Structure 1
């Protein structure tokens, strides 16, 4: 609320409509977030999805309405809004060119969520078979107020396997005058049998230009002041989601008292100012490691996230690279820098150097995902960027013998050693000293992975070669339905034993095995196997190097070797006489081949 200057004879009348009752009975100002107030109510208001909007409008105009649709795409791109607009358009009797009128009773009821024939369901909290069966039973009845009964199921990928099966029959033979609209951010988790029965629309990320234009329109309507550079910062931070952009804009308006300023937008989004980025780039391009490290510390001290810092830097170098190729490729206003700034940046480093910088940044960004000490990686990254040399400067760099260079080389070796230690043990704390690049080295403590042998033996007791072959044939499909983060952990592994109730998976990489053992990977693999194979199996993890010994110990503990041992006191057969096949040994070898496969078993005589 704005301040009121009290003067003699002046008073302000505030409408009671601005207030609601709070729990204690007193007045409370009612406020709605910008993304709710400015939610699209017509197809023309949906930002950045022109192809989808045109297709849906033409389908309504030509009466080519399908019984089921799938709206897939990133968060905040207009999926649910488009679904509600579509529900209004198909039921509106006064629509024009496929657009709802938003004035009739039906449109108003749908907008307010009060029409019984338009049902919006959150699949994240209603993902069971009973909820879907209830929908299927009620869908048989004709709509009571509208022409079409529309079911909007949001986050449909959260439905269980049984719920999808219950929904499948309804989608295959839909009742008359019933439309299903499924919305999801993860379409890869939806069974192909469902996708093949719907019309799929892929909502794309909204461009920064479209988001800036929309925010300008809203701020002009709200009569709020703004700096255009601040809007570009918000649009870039939203990463293609219009709802995210409006949420950030709401925060900035609250922070800066209804005036969107560049510095406030940078603070709220956690982005790095362009001037600091420019200084950092010029310092690493000029091989000034000490100054670059100081600038990086200044950026981190302002609360900037390490991953976000790298992403902003990659985008910054990309802009410089495009400007070198052709200045027309860059919208200078959108970058927050001037034409003179880009001319200076373009001359600071060659194209080859920029390529090497981007490769280094991508490598460090990938390694930082599994660490709790990003500052060490950022310091190593800074020094590595400073070491990148142009072809003409390599000879001069090789001949440099100053004390400063030697000191930096020593510091680089120390930091690289700490980086290697962190890779072996991501959870070991590193004490940061007051100096920028000096750190206290600590001896890595080896973490042993506990292997549940009893659980593995239960699998081996019932394991067969055919179960293992079947699982290996499905392994690629199982990986494809897993969460991307978990998939990256288990890509370098493979099943080595399988039974109808369990699976043993061997890991080549001990670091990934530790993360798999102490995380929720096993549960995710079990769900993926159930989704692909249709049955539940317990998952156990083992190191690939220890698997032969585990297999040998299992056979020994189960007594297979003892059964084939020669009885005490039995005389040896003459050397010249051929050895007869031992039935006990034959039984052991057959059992081993059944468990592990012929290729994995080698029979040796004592």
Structure 2
């Protein structure tokens, strides 16, 4: 018997034949029995769960010559005609290919006419979510006030795409996935009726593979029967459906358990040569570890899967992994599965994901295996090596925490870079510009001396020379200097271009940076040497490079301008200015600026 013949032979003809939708069947039957049939229904749920079949059974039930009856007789002319599709008053429309406003307008124009053959006109619109917005608007008025002889049954797998105005005018029924037990029982009944020999494990495998869709399950059953010659075995069902056998899962899991990355590549290559899809393998492997996790955390649930036949071996595998490691492995596989949707080399990503699992410790960190231990170490040896490596990691983490605590104490006590000693001086100078952890790391860049942090130059001479001729000369030829630096080494230019030449004094050009990283990279000895070499070429004399953060320069420049303004207001020469001003004067300048504050003497 062909697949089409088998599916049609076992397609539900009455409500009693439907599987797994008892709550919906009971509601519809009661409505028919009490003559309270609605004018519009919405059937939604996963594919293959009986939405269209229920709609046709409903059409037969309300139009049966012996009814309306809770169950159609399937013997009268009306029932047989609806089953054969020859009754013109029961119209089935595929909205995926008839989704425009013209088709819906045609329905709207025809609903006013009374049925010619049966009691009710029934419109079954499948995949109704595919209709356009205009088509929904045209259907809306008809759904709201249809003639009494018309019933609309809308079927969809994606109800969230329907306008709320359409849903509110229908009685909604949610079809659920058919349970594994119900599917297996129906497949067993089909095999008995059709004379097909089938193993119980094969039927369970087919039922799980259909993901709750009875139609898909019947299709897979027929496909497996055709492959096995009227005899269905688990191995044959796995082969014909492109799944993975239990031993293949076990071998991959053992390689991950033993952190044997070397065994991963030949195993994956064997799967690919057997015609398996990397995406499907990834999906099934996630399910495999999920079942291991369920068995570990809820052993009473009896996590059975279509991939596992030997429960003892499966339980032993679950004991080899900790729950924390299983959680992390599922998380890693899920991330790689998302990337595989957009990758050209899905097999490579699958291999990388499995090798990633082999190198993860219990905390999810990547660790390198000792080459001397080999790839095929036993589980016990692997755990011993992992424990030793974990102890070393813990010791290093404690040392880092101790150093961080010491550094924070120094910073809280206000210790300067010079006063903190040589050991802690590297981190203190940059504490104002970086977080406390990053400050110590930046010290590795050093200044011209190579071992310390970048010191801030004295800014007073540069503030005094802000409007001098040397500064103007530097600014006019800065573009030429940048171009020469770019020609010499483009990477140095990429960092230096962030700086702004703000002043020049004592044969030194001061460059202000907005980014600390750009400043630190520019200050590297090799980069500083190149820039000063270009300065000598451009200006014909040795010129040194000094750097400062832009915010520090702006503060110094504003302070210099304020002091100059104060000196002029008090009619004092700049050199006669007091060493310091009252604190309230400084605060006034900071709050209102030197343009709004005028200082007068009594």
TM-score (normalizing by structure 2): 0.59
**C-alpha offsets along residues 130-151 of structure 1, whole Å, 9 cap, x if unaligned?**
2212211211111222221111
Deviation at 1:235, TM superposition (A): 2.1
Tell me if 1:109 matches 2:81.
Answer: yes
Tell me if 1:69 matches 2:26.
Answer: no
Tell me if 1:346 matches 2:307.
Answer: no
Q: Which residue of 1 aligns with 2:21?
A: 49
Deviation at 1:403, TM superposition (A): 7.6
Write the mapping of 1:513-592 to structure 2, written as runs, cut at 5 A.
Answer: none
Picking from 138, 143, 151, the partner of 2:115 is 143
Secondary structure, counterpart of 1:69 in structure 2: strand
CA distance in 2, matches of 1:355, 1:290: 23
Q: Residues 89 and 352 of structure 1: is their aligned pair in 2 closer, same or farther, counting only changes over 3 Å?
A: same
TM-score (normalizing by structure 1): 0.59
Contact 1:314 1:361 in 2 (8 A): yes
Deviation at 1:328, TM superposition (A): 2.8
Write the mapping of 1:158-557 to structure 2, written as runs, cut at 5 A.
Answer: 158-330=130-302, 332=304, 334-390=306-362, 400=370, 402=372, 404=374
**C-alpha offsets along residues 104-146 of structure 1, whole Å, 9 cap, x if unaligned?**
2211111111222211112222222222122112111112222
Secondary structure, counterpart of 2:172 in structure 1: strand
**C-alpha offsets along residues 124-182 of structure 1, whole Å, 9 cap, x if unaligned?**
22222222122112111112222211111111122222221211111111101210001
Q: Which residue of 2 aligns with 1:570?
A: none
CA distance in 1, matches of 2:51, 2:112: 26
Contact 1:109 1:115 in 2 (8 A): yes
Contact 1:155 1:184 in 2 (8 A): yes
Deviation at 1:33, TM superposition (A): 3.4
Q: Residues 32 and 337 of structure 1: is their aligned pair in 2 closer, same or farther, counting only changes over 3 Å?
A: closer
Contact 1:319 1:330 in 2 (8 A): no
Deviation at 1:293, TM superposition (A): 2.6
Q: Which residue of 2 aligns with 1:39?
A: 11
Q: Which residue of 2 aligns with 1:578?
A: none
Contact 2:244 2:281 in 1 (8 A): yes
Q: Which residue of 2 aligns with 1:120?
A: 92
CA distance in 1, matches of 2:360, 2:182: 37
Deviation at 1:86, TM superposition (A): 0.6
CA distance in 2, matches of 1:208, 1:54: 21
CA distance in 1, matches of 2:324, 2:100: 55
Contact 1:88 1:107 in 2 (8 A): yes
**C-alpha offsets along residues 81-119 of structure 1, whole Å, 9 cap, x if unaligned?**
000001111122435971112122211111111222211
Which entry has the higher C-alpha Rg, 1 or 2?
Answer: 2
Contact 2:199 2:234 in 1 (8 A): yes
Contact 2:223 2:240 in 1 (8 A): yes
CA distance in 1, matches of 2:342, 2:221: 32
Q: Residues 75 and 332 of structure 1: is their aligned pair in 2 closer, same or farther, counting only changes over 3 Å?
A: closer
Q: Residues 399 and 52 of structure 1: is their aligned pair in 2 closer, same or farther, counting only changes over 3 Å?
A: closer
Deviation at 1:233, TM superposition (A): 2.3
Deviation at 1:292, TM superposition (A): 2.6
Deviation at 1:305, TM superposition (A): 1.0
Contact 1:234 1:265 in 2 (8 A): yes
Deviation at 1:333, TM superposition (A): 7.4
Contact 2:45 2:51 in 1 (8 A): yes
Contact 1:293 1:382 in 2 (8 A): no
Q: CA RMSD in A?
A: 2.4
Q: Residues 279 and 404 of structure 1: is their aligned pair in 2 closer, same or farther, counting only changes over 3 Å?
A: closer
Q: Which residue of 2 aligns with 1:534?
A: none
Unpaired runs of 5+ residues, structure 2, are 376-602
Contact 1:67 1:180 in 2 (8 A): yes
Contact 1:69 1:182 in 2 (8 A): yes
CA distance in 2, matches of 1:321, 1:173: 53
**C-alpha offsets along residues 225-268 of structure 1, whole Å, 9 cap, x if unaligned?**
11122222222222222212211222211122111121221112
CA distance in 2, matches of 1:371, 1:336: 30
Q: Which residue of 2 aligns with 1:130?
A: 102
Deviation at 1:216, TM superposition (A): 0.9
Picking from 89, 94, 98, the partner of 2:70 is 98
Contact 1:282 1:348 in 2 (8 A): no
